[in-house]
Amino acid sequence: MFSTGEAQETAKNDLIGYLKVLEGELEDKAYFGGEIFGIVDVALVPSYSFFFAYEQSGNFSIVAECPALVAWVHWCMEKESVSKHLPDQHKVYDSMLERKKKLQAKSKENREERSSIDCDLPNVVEFSSSVAREENRREESMKARSVLGQQKRVYIMAILSKENREERSSIACDLPHVVEFSSSVAREKNRREESMKARSVLGQQKRVYIMAIL
């Protein structure tokens, strides 16, 4: 019912083919089980409620295509348990039309939404490109900062290395004075030790002389 053109024609021919298969099983019997209304009839008779919708949508007549099948429906409708409970064909058709309108409206909304998305696509692409460019600028800025940081560390290390070299050179220049000072201290220490030894010898000699006098 919702298809058009070639697809609708194909669906109509398929439906007529299915109905003719059922009609062939029915043959000239009143019901599918013979003269008794049975389970097969109960299962198939509800499809009668869609016959009018099929005919209106496919522009054909089921009674002209399958007269024996329509006669079987009439036999079934004579039973009160069937006629009271089957939905009215025209109400079913109206319900299907309403559903078709809703589907068409939904389809139109989807097309308009896709069209709106297509119109906004250049803006989306431009926004994505600007985001990508900004991200690239941030990465380049971070790389530049890293390089500057490395250069700064190298420069500081060079200065410290130069200071260390100058300090070692200054120490080397002062080394002769340090050695001379150490030598003078050592000589002074030796003189003091020799003086103390001399005094000790004189003291011993003095004691020996006194003891000899006594």
pLDDT of amino acid 25: 92
Q: What are the residues whose beta carbons fall under 8 Å from the beta carbon of 117, sequence distance 6 or more?
A: none
160 pLDDT above the threshold of 80: no
97 pLDDT above the threshold of 80: yes
* Furthest-apart CA atoms within the chain: distance in Å: 181
Terminal CA-CA length for the chain: 160
Q: Model confidence over 32-86: pLDDT tens digits?
A: 989 999 999 999 999 999 999 999 988 999 999 999 999 999 999 999 999 999 9
Q: What is the CA radius of gyration of the chain?
A: 60
Residue with tokens 């054909």, as numbered in its chain: 60
Q: Which domains does the chain have, with CATH numbers?
A: 5-87 (1.20.1050.10)
pLDDT band at 175 (very low <50, low <70, confident <90, very high): low
**Average pLDDT score over the chain:** 80
Beta carbons within 10 angstroms of residue 51's beta carbon: 20
Residue with tokens 């089921």, as numbered in its chain: 62
